[in-house]
Amino acid sequence: MKVYLALLVISALMTYVATPVMRHVAIRVGAITAVRARDVHVVPTARLGGVAVFLGIAAGLGVASTIPFLRGVFETSHGAWAVLGGAALVCAVGVLDDIWDLDWMAKLAGQILAALLMAWGGIQLVALPIGGRTIGDSYLSLIATVVVVVVAINAVNFVDGLDGLAAGVVAIGGTAFMVYTYVLARGASPGDYSSLATVMTAVMVGACLGFLPHNVHPARIFMGDSGSMVLGLVFAAAAITVTGQIDTSVVGQREQLPAFLPILLPLAVVAVPLIDMSLAFVRRLGRGQSPFKPDAHHLHHRLLRSGHSHRWAVAVLWLWTSVLAFGTVSMVFLPVNYAGAILGSGFVVAAMITFSPAVRRLVRRLWQAVGAAAAEPAMRVGALGHPRVRDHSADPTTGDATTGDATTPPPSKEPSSG
């Protein structure tokens, strides 16, 4: 596990460093998200953060290819490079969309080409994890792979509507999936438990964590389609690798995993984006519109209209992702009845926080009290050390609070989307 955590840190650091650079590039080339009627941000905000996410993933995979422990992952197949090539393709399509706003057909074509590239490189759904059933026809296998990749890409893309939402959801779900793939690989090959799926989830989670400090509300940069499509594709590749290419009958004898878990867990990890995308498709098709036509009726929009603040709406969706992902992965370590009890308890708590104003106010007061208590010592030390220092970083007349760049306005206190 230490190797995978090291890759996670490398990917996070690369993304964290590259994100401010991409922000300045976005400002120079005009990749700015204007304020539209369906948006919740109130100031134009730079895009192209997804390029930094891609660079973090590429850096992590590059370092992984030099580690002796993971040599078998890169020598036995070209899957890792196929995933990186597919990610580069959708990232390029996303960059074009971030700058020139491509139509949905052009983006869909790019997604299908990226999925085909991955399948050509060996990342292909060839078997179902229940009963060892294989997909006998090569064309059906290819179609299934393309469908899984395109659905995952658009699920992450649809949920990318609030600051930090998509990156946080993928980081939380990816962490749970990384734990599962690691345990599964150890059970399948005790002598050599290197796993391409674990490598991909580790660098994906690292990239999300490195991007989040720049993307939490109020966001200084959005990942745009160049980031959401990359994250969806990498997760799909990891899910295909672990779901369709590991003999779970062998693992089940050693780890006593439920037979349905390899299919259930990937769905649980992206349940929030999948639900949001499914509701959007039904809603738009019912109106006679294109399923890809943007609107302001996603889950996060509904939370905002129900009285949640921007950060609280993001936290609620993070909570639901945590309950679903970690509640499901607990079946790896606990009997199904105990794991079910944990999952059910998590559902109750998440539902109360989501739908009960009284519980929401109580949790918010507790959270603010904890934050105030944690900040008090630092404020006291700052007051003693610098009693008369004025903070000029937030002065609107100085331009950007961190970089001094007056090209874009300072972050607003109002909600913004990412």
For the chain, which residues make up each domain, given as ranges?
2-359
**Number of Cβ within a 10 Å radius of residue 127:** 18
Q: Using a cut of 0.95, tell me whether the model's pTM lies above it.
A: no
Residue 10 identity (one-letter amino acid): I
Half-sphere exposure for 50 (CA within 13 Å, toward CB): 33
Please tell me the predicted confidence (pLDDT) of residue 403: 41
Please tell me the predicted confidence (pLDDT) of residue 113: 96
Q: Which residues contact 41 (CB under 8 A, 6 or more apart)?
A: 33, 35, 163, 219, 412, 414, 415, 416, 417, 418
Measured distance CA(104)–CA(215) in Å, rounded? 25
Residue matched to tokens 């596990």: 1
Please tell me the predicted confidence (pLDDT) of residue 11: 96
Measured distance CA(362)–CA(349) in Å, rounded? 13
Please tell me the predicted confidence (pLDDT) of residue 297: 66
Do the bridges between strand 32-33 and strand 45-46 make them parallel or antiparallel, or are there none, so unpaired? antiparallel
Measured distance CA(413)–CA(133) in Å, rounded? 53
Q: Under a CB-based contact definition with an 8 Å cutoff, are residues 272 and 314 in contact?
A: no
Please tell me the predicted confidence (pLDDT) of residue 370: 77
Q: Which residues contact 242 (CB under 8 A, 6 or more apart)?
A: 180, 181, 184, 195, 197, 262
Half-sphere exposure for 255 (CA within 13 Å, toward CB): 27
Among 237, 173, 180, 171, residue whose Cα is nearest residue 209: 171
Tens-binned pLDDT, residue by residue, of the chain (418 aa)? 789 999 999 999 999 999 999 999 999 888 887 666 555 656 788 889 999 999 999 999 999 999 988 888 888 788 899 999 999 999 999 999 888 888 888 999 999 999 999 999 888 887 665 555 667 677 888 898 999 899 999 889 888 878 888 899 999 999 998 988 888 777 666 666 788 889 999 999 999 999 999 998 888 899 989 999 999 999 999 988 887 545 545 444 444 455 556 667 777 777 777 887 788 788 878 888 777 776 666 676 677 677 667 788 888 889 988 998 898 888 878 888 888 898 899 989 888 888 877 777 787 777 677 767 776 765 665 555 554 444 444 444 344 444 444 444 444 444 444 4
